[in-house]
Amino acid sequence: MATRFHDEHDLATLRRWLEGNQDSQAEKMVGEFETAFAEAVGAQHVIANASAMHGLQAALQACYIEPGDEVIVDPIVVFAGLAVMYCNAVPIFADIDSRTFNMSPESFRKYITPRTRAVICTHFAGLPCDMDEIVTIAREHDLIVIEDCAHALYAQYKGHPAGLLGDVGVFSFNHRKQLSTGQGGAMTFTNPKLYEEVRRLTFGRVPSRLAWNMAMPGIVAAVALAQLPKSRQYVDEDRRNAALMNKAVEGCEWIVPQYVAPGTVSSYHLWTAFYKGEEHGIPMEDFKRVCVEEGADYFLFGFMPQNWQGIRARPAYAYPVFTTPLAYGKNCPTRCPHYQGNVDYTKELCPQAEQISPRLINTTLSPIRQERGEKLAEGLYRAVQRFM
């Protein structure tokens, strides 16, 4: 059974939108949700939008990212890099920390050039990045800090909520997230100027400058309003399930869960670990087969999954969307006439990501209740014990 549930309150909220959907007044539910979400995450400024992908793109557009500009992104998930290319700019991939699987501040600093305008750091699996270091480095170079919080609802870093650690936070409400509206998202802001700029870009009739219609539909806001009060319960259940997974692999030196530093609180949208079994004579395919035999068949091996388009999991920059620079024709953005740099995504740019990305064990916790989590953890424990 899924974690998420609906009740009469959800249906009543949907009816309220449906009964007013011939009137623009019904779209005021978007504003209601923005106010409620701001209170839930402790933000002063919130803008709801159609998806987190739209949010990342809007954040960059608000920064006036242009052809020839560079934005530093992480190499595990593809979405930050795609958002940069939507602006016809060039994604530059910084490597990850081998323990947290998040952007390495040292690698971030290494890749800053005079063309760098911003950084997008993904709080992978719900674990906040090392934001003190990242923000400090960014401020030294006058860079905008965008947090990809798609996995990180209610995550915290040293007592501060994810999404309020840089300039802009971008949240996802797609069908697998802890607050799920099918599609949808929201942006949080600590930078009032960027808030005002994105608000102008989220247009109704005529935008202040060229923009895409990124607004959240009213009926999506109705679902979000109804589910928001339940979302902390969903995150708490994911954290309990993650604790079960961590316990299942205790004492196993060849499965290393994502490291959560003291003072950091993960939302555990994913439970993820680095598989080092091959160093101990245990091929990943053998362990994967045993997991299925023991009932731990809900795990994916590699991020993205190995069976995605038949390609073994690899860092984001190795996928054709980046290696073939045809986002806008004429070899843009990486061979754009405005671009003075030189990138080659066919090389092994990020050694840690190259090693770890295809060897991640991960599972989305959000759709499962604790009793299912218990069975999954028990199966994982039995699978591990067969090789101990």
Q: Could you list the active site residues?
A: 177
Q: What is the DSSP string of 219-251?
A: HHHHHHHHHHHHHHHHHHHHHHHHHHHHHHTTT
Question: What Rg value do the Cα atoms of the chain yield, rounded?
Answer: 21
Q: How many CB atoms lie within 10 A of CB 147?
A: 32
- Please list the alpha-helical segments (H only) found in 249-369: 284-293, 320-323, 351-356
* Residues in CB range of 58: below 8 A, 6 or more apart: 47, 49, 187, 198, 201, 202, 211, 214
Contact 50, 215 (CB under 8 A): yes
CB neighbour burial string for 206-221, b if at least 16 within 10 angstroms, e if fewer: eeeeebbebbbbbbbb
Contact 186, 173 (CB under 8 A): yes
Place of tokens 């290494």: 110
Give the alpha-carbon dihedral of 370, 52, 45, 72, to 10 degrees.
Answer: 110
* Residues in CB range of 138: below 8 A, 6 or more apart: 119, 144, 145, 166
Residue 83 token pair: 């958002």
